[in-house]
Every structure is written in C-alpha cells, then in structure tokens.
Chain A
Amino acid sequence: MTVDLDQYAKPGKSYYLALGLEGSANKIGVGVIKHNLGQLSSTNSAEVLSNVRDTYVTPPGEGFLPRDTARHHRNWVVRIIKDALKVAKVSGSDLDCICFTQGPGMGAPLQSVVIAARTLSQLWDLPLVGVNHCIGHIEMGREITGAQNPVVLYVSGGNTQVIAYSRQRYRIFGETLDIAIGNCLDRFARTLKIPNIPFPGYNIEQMAKKGKHLVPLPYTVKGMDLSMSGILAHIDQLAKQMFSGKKPPVDEETGEPITAEDLCFSLQETLYSMLVEITERAMAHVQSNQVLIVGGVGSNLRLQEMMQLMVQDRKGGSIHATDERFCIDNGIMIAHAGLLSYRTGQTNELWNTVCTQRYRTDEVFVKWRDD
C-alpha cells in the first residue's frame, strides 16, 4: 500500500507548486518546485522550476554571527523570493503553499525569513508549511538520486548525523557529540585564515590535494557517535606551532616540515574515516546497501570517494550524492519536503510557525511514506 498523496489537490489541477524559503544558516535560498499528481517515481519526478540562493560571505579568519547573518537575510529575502518566482515564471495564484525552514538552525536568521513567509502567506492567502531542515536535505537527496531507502549521512556546518528510515521516522543512528563536521572544517579554515569564498570546506579540499604527510590526529569514534572538538583543538595547536616557528611540527618518518596543506589533508582523512566507519556500521545494522550523502560537506569529492571505496566492498552497494545545487542549503529542498507534507494534509497555522533552533530529525512524523 502507498500513501494517497492527492487528497488535497486543487480540483481540476494536474500538478502542485510550492515555494520554499530557507535561511537557517549563512545562505538564503528560495525555490519553486512542481509535483504532478500521483506518486513520485523515476517517470514522474519532481521538477525544479527555480532555485535561487545568496550566501553571506565573511572575510578570511571570521565566521558568520547570528545578528549579521539575519541582517543579510533581511536585505535579500524579498528580492530572492521575487527572483525565484521570476525564474519559475509562475504567479502567486498558481502556488499551493509556502514552505519555510522551521529549524534546526540559528535563531535570528530563521526568524528573519519566517517573517517574510508569514506576510506573503497572508497577502496571497496561501497555507504555510513548516519544514525540518534535515528532512529537506533527505527528501531532496532521495528525489534527485532516486535512492529508495538509503542510509543517510547528513554532514553540514551545523549537523552531523547518520540516519536510517524506519516506520515513518528518520531515525538517528549516530551523530556528533559536540561540534558538526562542517563547523570543525570552517573553524580550522579560520585558523589558517584561508578565504570563505566559495566556502571554507572547498578551499580545505583543494589544499588537501597538495598534502603529502599524514599527521597523526586523535581518532574519536564513540560507539555510533563521533566527537570532533578534540581533533580541532589538537590540529589548531599544530597550526599555531607551525605559524609561530617555535617547535614547528615535522613528519615523523622523513623529518620534513609539516605544511598547512599537510594539515588539511590529515584533517580530512581522519574526519572522513570516522564518518565512513559509523556509516558502514549503520548499513550493516539496517541491512541496507545504499548510502545517500547530503548536506554541504557532502559536496566534498574526497568524502564521496572514501565512501565509495567502502560501499563497493559491500554486496550490491551503491552511493548517492548530489552536487552543490542540492547539497548546500537551498530553498528547493524546503519546497520539496514541504510539498510532500502538504500533500498529506499537514499545514501550519500562523501561531504554530515559531522557529526553533533545536528540532531533531526524528521528531518529524513522515506521513508521506509507509514502507
């Protein structure tokens, strides 16, 4: 049996359109998605009509702070909504609902975007749908890659989770005990003062390609969970020694000096090995042979490559990842997950549109799946 997704279709209309607004971190994104009536499948897939984004970029050595990020989002939100509608060539009267990120994320940026969502919803008399950011990533990843029931590795600046679906919940099998992996990479990029354009993880990845020496770092898998703050503190210390010239670290075998490139290489190898380990264990546990990587760090090719090596050793294993349009935070994934929710009759009244910084993936009842 499958869930009836067409109980709430507008009479005489053969499709749905949803507007999605995302602003939980340093990106503001708006997208329009189209679903045709019926179950989503490889022959009836969701259609991306527009996916517009602007990123708040800070100078090298600086991270993004909630207040400044909220100001950036406020400056852009209305323009980006207009752009997304322009690109999609749809009018308000053709939309079914307005979806927004309700959490998790940074409070002030989330709030600055939901204000626009509430106003537009009333001006155009459209229902609001609150979306869990992680669910947005998962559903968009499944839709784009066609992975049916994968183990999901969700890795971004704010989240690190290994997730598997079971009985209408996306359940968290393992997660970070302290900082997110993207946060660890971003903060190390700040220590090295490398640019935040296009994003810090990309620049670390490029530098890592030139690294030759693997510097030993703590390897901190705790059961199914990870800890990364200790690794960051350790490698920050090495970077400081390297920059100060006092007791500069050297490679244990060759005696050659350790470079910033070596540190980037070592950090990536250590962190990604840990991710691969817990993902493999989750796969064995739920007897799945698919991995779906979502979230901003998921666009890292070295992580994809390491995961690929693990997966190809498993029988019938496959790995699914998306490119930066869908990996990195965007409005279209919010529109997509929100529309699935809308098609099962879930909408939010205005009083129920308050955003929360903490909103766990397994709190969401996945009404649109029943496998």
Chain B
Amino acid sequence: MSETLNHKLVLRIPFETNKQSEIACNSLNPDPILKSRELDVEFEIDKNTLVCKFSGTSDRVIRVAISNVIDNIKTIIECMDEFDEKKEVIFT
C-alpha cells in the first residue's frame, strides 16, 4: 500500500530545547491519521528538532495534512511560550 504514497515531504521544526521537541512530538503522536490509505504522517525527534514526515497519494492530501499539523504546532508553541518553566508562577 505504501507504494502508492509516492508524494513525500519532510518538515523540520527546531525548538529551544530537546525537551520541547519531545513534548511537541508526544502531543502530536496520539491522534490517528484519518484516511490512512491516502496519507501517512510520522513524527520523530532529532535532538531539538521535530521531524514531520508526510507521505500521501497526491500533493493535495499532503497540503491539507501539513496545514493541520502546522495549526497544531502553533498551539503547542504558544503553550510553551506562555507556560514553560512557569509552573510556580501565579499569573497576574
């Protein structure tokens, strides 16, 4: 089946720390890929870089998947900006 997933693209997103890239990977990983016959997405970490590997049956499905992953990563990064290292902080 993977033969037909011949459109491929890799996103490499650097984070500030190894821990952050790991957290991002763990947050993205649980959700199953819908339409797994048309699309596969794998998340890996390479030190402080999150590596997202997309393979799909067309550039269209990859474009939709990337857009979705980037939206999720935006939430993750915003969360990190606001809350990382701030467990003891009472916000005012």
Chain A contacts to B: CB under 8 angstroms: 70-71, 74, 77-78, 81-82, 85-86, 89-93, 111-112, 115-116, 118-120, 122-125, 350-354
- For residues 59 through 86 of chain B, which have their beta carbon under 8 Å from a beta carbon of chain A? 71-72, 74-76, 78-80, 82-84, 86
A112 and B69 alpha carbons, distance in the complex (Å): 11
Q: Could you tell me the distance in whole angstroms from the C-beta of B54 to the nearest C-beta in chain A?
A: 18
19 contacts across the A-B interface (CB closer than 8 A): A74-B71, A82-B82, A86-B92, A91-B90, A111-B31, A111-B72, A115-B28, A116-B76, A118-B27, A119-B27, A122-B23, A122-B27, A123-B79, A123-B80, A123-B87, A125-B87, A350-B26, A350-B29, A353-B30
For A82, the chain B residues whose CB sits under 8 A away are 82, 91
For A125, the chain B residues whose CB sits under 8 A away are 87
Scoring B residues 23 to 61 as 1 if CB is less than 8 Å from chain A, else 0, what string do you get? 110111111100000000000000000000000000000
For B23, the chain A residues whose CB sits under 8 A away are 119, 122-123
Interface size on B, as a range, is 20 to 34
Q: Is B88 an interface residue (CB 8 A)?
A: yes
Chain B contacts to A: CB under 8 angstroms: 23-24, 26-32, 71-72, 74-76, 78-80, 82-84, 86-92
For B76, the chain A residues whose CB sits under 8 A away are 115-116, 119
Q: Could you tell me the distance in whole angstroms from the C-beta of A262 to the nearest C-beta in chain B?
A: 45
A92 and B31 alpha carbons, distance in the complex (Å): 26
Contact present for A350 and B30 (CB under 8 Å): yes
Contact present for B75 and A93 (CB under 8 Å): no
Considering the complex, give the chain A residue whose CB is closest to the CB of B91. Answer: A86
A-B CB proximity, top 3 nearest: A92-B87, A118-B27, A119-B79
Q: Which of B29, B32, B79 has the most CB of A within 10 A?
A: B79
A118 and B22 alpha carbons, distance in the complex (Å): 12
Q: Could you tell me the distance in whole angstroms from the C-beta of B25 to the nearest C-beta in chain A?
A: 10
Q: Which of A78, A90, A350 has the most CB of B within 10 A?
A: A78
A92 and B23 alpha carbons, distance in the complex (Å): 17
What 16 additional pairs, Cβ within 8 angstroms, besides A120-B79, A123-B80?
A70-B71, A77-B75, A78-B78, A85-B90, A89-B90, A91-B89, A93-B87, A111-B31, A112-B71, A112-B72, A119-B24, A120-B83, A123-B83, A123-B84, A124-B83, A351-B30
Contact present for A91 and B82 (CB under 8 Å): no
A118 and B86 alpha carbons, distance in the complex (Å): 16
A91 and B29 alpha carbons, distance in the complex (Å): 28
For B26, the chain A residues whose CB sits under 8 A away are 118, 122, 350
Contact present for B75 and A74 (CB under 8 Å): yes
Contact present for A354 and B79 (CB under 8 Å): no
Considering the complex, give the chain A residue whose CB is closest to the CB of B77. Answer: A119
Q: Could you tell me the distance in whole angstroms from the C-beta of A315 to the nearest C-beta in chain B?
A: 51
Q: Could you tell me the distance in whole angstroms from the C-beta of B13 to the nearest C-beta in chain A?
A: 14
Contact present for A354 and B30 (CB under 8 Å): yes
For B32, the chain A residues whose CB sits under 8 A away are 354
For A118, the chain B residues whose CB sits under 8 A away are 26-27, 30
Known: A78-B78, A120-B79. A115 touches B27 (CB 8 A): yes
For B72, the chain A residues whose CB sits under 8 A away are 111-112, 115
Contact among A91, A115, A116 with B87 in the assembled complex (CB-CB below 8 Å): A91
A78 and B80 alpha carbons, distance in the complex (Å): 10
Considering the complex, give the chain A residue whose CB is closest to the CB of B90. Answer: A91
A81 and B78 alpha carbons, distance in the complex (Å): 12
A70 and B79 alpha carbons, distance in the complex (Å): 16
A117 and B75 alpha carbons, distance in the complex (Å): 10
For B92, the chain A residues whose CB sits under 8 A away are 86
Contact present for A115 and B75 (CB under 8 Å): yes
Contact among B27, B30, B71, B91 with A85 in the assembled complex (CB-CB below 8 Å): B91
Known: A111-B31, A350-B30, A351-B30. A119 touches B75 (CB 8 A): yes
For A85, the chain B residues whose CB sits under 8 A away are 90-91
Considering the complex, give the chain B residue whose CB is closest to the CB of A351. Answer: B30
Contact present for A91 and B88 (CB under 8 Å): yes
A18 and B92 alpha carbons, distance in the complex (Å): 19
